[in-house]
Homo-oligomer: A and B are copies of this chain.
Amino acid sequence: MLSQNQSKLVRSLHQKKYRVEEGLFLVEGDKMVLELLDNTTLEPNHVFAVREWLDKHYKQIKKSLFPVTEVLPEELERISTLVTPNQVLAVVKIPHAPVNTDLPAERTCFYLDGIQDPGNMGTILRIADWFGIPAVYCSPDCVDLYSPKVVQASMGAVFRVPSWEISLEQLLENQSNIAVMGAVMDGKDVFKNSLAATGILVIGNEGKGIRPSCERLLTHKISIPRHPKGRAESLNAAVATGILAALIPAK
């Protein structure tokens, strides 16, 4: 049974303003909540689930630190961000690790310059998590990392890939001799010029690409060439990120 206060809190977390204020975000869906229960780096807050789900997963629930409340399907529907809600919803504390500006030495990181679409943001985190990208830095005007659609599209990568909000200038302040790569219109063919194994790969905004203040910080301008018979104006930002990530050489 859901209390009025719980219902109000969860629904408020659909909005960024309240996620920031409360320091909490929502995770929905069977697979991701089960993963959360096993995750020891995220601080639990609460799980709301229907009877059927609780019966099925009582072992995992017992082991985890999450307080659990049983709710009715119609109660879950009222607090869910999904049109067709799953059987479970979790409230989780937003991690508050201070930004680590010591760039990981083992492998190239991502810098996201104004990514706006939550589906793209989540998909990029998932790409980072597949290709072993050690950190994802985001410009302050990126879509909120903890928005429900980002969490959903990331398929849990948001729990695993360290991500921070910082300007590219600040991030580069204490670095020297670092490769800063980014795809621009007139960049060099990425299939003929290898990417650096360590450094930063800058991913531009969906419509506008990399903004001029970031572009002037690039040390390697690259591009994914269009096929001579291709007519699309551009590639989707997450797809371009996937192609570039796949081409980062091992060190």
* Chain A interface residues toward B at CB < 8 A: 107, 119, 123, 126-127, 129-132, 134, 153, 155-157, 160, 191, 224, 226-236, 238-243, 246
Q: Which residues from chain B contact A229 at a C-beta distance below 8 Å?
A: 107, 132, 134
Contact A233 B131 (CB under 8 A): no
Q: Which residues from chain B contact A157 at a C-beta distance below 8 Å?
A: 232
Other 10 A-B pairs with CB < 8 A, given A119-B119, A129-B230, A132-B229 = A129-B231, A131-B227, A132-B227, A132-B228, A132-B230, A155-B234, A157-B232, A235-B242, A242-B242, A242-B243
A157 to B236, CA, bound (A): 12
Q: Which residues from chain B contact A119 at a C-beta distance below 8 Å?
A: 119
Q: Which 9 residue pairs are nearest across A and B when measured between Cβ atoms?
A: A132-B227, A132-B229, A239-B242, A129-B232, A130-B232, A132-B230, A130-B230, A243-B246, A131-B227
Known: A132-B227, A227-B131. A126 touches B243 (CB 8 A): no
B127, B131, B160, B230: the one within 8 Å of A131 (CB): B230
A70 to B126, CA, bound (A): 44
Which residue of chain B has the shortest Cβ distance to A191 in the bound complex?
A: B246
Q: Which residues from chain B contact A160 at a C-beta distance below 8 Å?
A: 231-232
The dominant DSSP class at the A interface is: loop
10 sampled A-B residue pairs with Cβ under 8 A:
A107-B229, A127-B236, A129-B230, A130-B232, A155-B232, A155-B234, A156-B232, A160-B232, A224-B246, A238-B238
CB A109 to nearest CB in B, in angstroms, measures 13
Which residue of chain B has the shortest Cβ distance to A124 in the bound complex?
A: B239
CB A40 to nearest CB in B, in angstroms, measures 14
CB A203 to nearest CB in B, in angstroms, measures 13
Q: Which residues from chain B contact A224 at a C-beta distance below 8 Å?
A: 246
A214 to B232, CA, bound (A): 29
Q: Which residues from chain B contact A231 at a C-beta distance below 8 Å?
A: 129, 160
A230 to B131, CA, bound (A): 5
Q: Which residues from chain B contact A233 at a C-beta distance below 8 Å?
A: 155-156
